[in-house]
Amino acid sequence: MENMHKSKIFIPFTFLILIFRFSNALVCSTPPKVINVNHSGEGGSFKTIESAIDSIPKPNTQWTHIRISAGTYTENVTISKNRPCIFLEGAGSSSTIVQAGYPESPTLLSLADDIIAKDITFTVRVLYTDLLFTIHI
């Protein structure tokens, strides 16, 4: 009898946890806001990917499409938890390269949900070696 009582409590408790977890799911609104990144910063664009991300309001609930022009960007990009709904799109994985500003640190650190990256290469160099790790997306 005691075992049966425990299972009756366990099932509703598990269900509540699942409801709570899925109730936090975010639905990103459309149409997306478009932000451009290029090295010159001309035309209302940002010079760095991080500055473009930092311009997105907290908390973010709208898709933001960040278009990154061809070039090599030396920076560490961090997307905080309260800035979801970001689509990073480069000009091609062979022409849009993001390399870590600091060796052995993450080139891209995303703490948010609903992040998409396309046509970008992310690289990180291992300190005191010639090792280079590359991810083409």
pLDDT in tens, 29-48: 888 899 999 988 877 789 99
- Residue 112, CB half-sphere, CA atoms under 13 Å: how many? 25
Given a contact cutoff of 8 angstroms between Cβ atoms, the answer to whether 87 and 113 are in contact is: no
The reported pLDDT for the residue numbered 44 is 76
Statement: residue 22 has pLDDT above 80: no
pLDDT in tens, 8-19: 444 443 333 444
Residue 8 neighbours by CB distance under 10 Å:
10
The reported pLDDT for the residue numbered 17 is 41
More confident residue, 127 or 121: 121
Task: Give Dmax (Cα) for the chain.
Answer: 73
The reported pLDDT for the residue numbered 36 is 96
Question: How far apart are alpha carbons 40 and 83 in whole angstroms?
Answer: 25
pLDDT in tens, 52-107: 999 999 999 999 999 999 999 999 999 999 999 999 999 999 999 999 887 777 88
Question: How far apart are alpha carbons 85 and 31 in whole angstroms?
Answer: 12
Statement: residue 7 has pLDDT above 50: no
